[in-house]
């Protein structure tokens, strides 16, 4: 993968406002937005009895190390009121690092590429929008190939929502 890819999701309060606020805060923390996917409404993962998410994928550039990027993403989540009470539970904002270039990282706090990529259709849909021909550094398959082989039957819907952010 060339570039750094993030996944943003929100399923409580004003979901689109949360996505826009998160992107603005990420930019203020030293990230440059290069591209973004369409905004999709997606079924929840893990715990199904909750509101659907709005999700968007971002391609960013930053001078932050992968660990500092994780800290910056977590800081944005905390500033926006994210509570880490329940894994896969409702959240005002969730920011996942999907790829950090071609790096493979497995530290206590960070796993990149994100281990859920091959199994989560909602993640692959966003990555397919952004970089269909980019290869997963550990699996050797493109994002479009991963999507084709994904067995996840979770629903997703394209939306007419747009980020209120200009690209670099």
Active site includes 14? no
Q: What DSSP character marks residue 13?
A: S
For the cut 80, the answer to whether the pLDDT of residue 123 exceeds it is: yes
Active site residue 96: yes
Mean per-residue pLDDT of the chain: 94
Paired with 33 in beta bridges are 60
Share of the chain above pLDDT 70, in %: 99
Between CA 95 and CA 92 the distance in angstroms is: 10
Q: Which one of 14, 68, 82, 133 is the catalytic residue?
A: 82
Q: Which of 84, 96, 120, 164 is catalytic?
A: 96
Grouping H, G, I as helix, E, B as strand and the rest as coil, residue 100 is strand
Q: Determine whether 15 is an active site residue.
A: no
Is 94 annotated in the active site? yes
Catalytic residue among 14, 15, 35, 91: 91
Distance, CA of 17 to CA of 130 (rounded, Å): 22
Neighbours of 140 (CB within 10 A): 8
The domain that holds 48 is classified in CATH as 3.30.70.560
Domain of 97 in residue numbering reads as: 4-158
Q: What is the pLDDT of residues 80-92, one digit of tens each?
A: 999 877 677 789 9
Half-sphere exposure for 124 (CA within 13 Å, toward CB): 25
Q: What is the pTM of this model?
A: 0.95
Active-site residue (options: 14, 17, 35, 94) = 94
Q: Is the dihedral of CA 110, 3, 46, 94 positive or negative?
A: positive
**Number of domains the chain contains:** 1
Q: Is residue 164 part of a domain?
A: no
């Amino acid at each position: 993968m060339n570039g750094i890819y993030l996944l943003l999701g929100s399923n409580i309060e004003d979901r689109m406002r949360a996505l826009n606020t998160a992107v603005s805060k990420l930019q203020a923390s030293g990230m440059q937005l290069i591209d973004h996917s369409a905004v999709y409404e997606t079924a929840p993962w893990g715990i199904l009895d909750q509101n659907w998410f709005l999700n968007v994928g971002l391609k960013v550039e930053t001078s932050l190390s992968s660990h500092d990027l994780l800290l910056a993403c977590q800081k944005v989540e905390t500033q926006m009121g994210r509570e880490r009470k329940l894994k896969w539970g409702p959240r005002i904002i969730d920011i996942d690092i999907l790829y950090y270039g071609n790096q493979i990282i497995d530290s206590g706090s960070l796993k990149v590429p994100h281990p859920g990529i091959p199994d989560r259709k909602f993640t692959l849909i966003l990555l397919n929008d952004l970089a269909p021909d980019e290869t997963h550094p550990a699996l050797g398959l493109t994002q479009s190939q991963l999507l084709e082989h994904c067995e996840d039957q979770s629903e997703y819907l394209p939306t007419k929502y747009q980020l209120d952010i200009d690209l670099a």
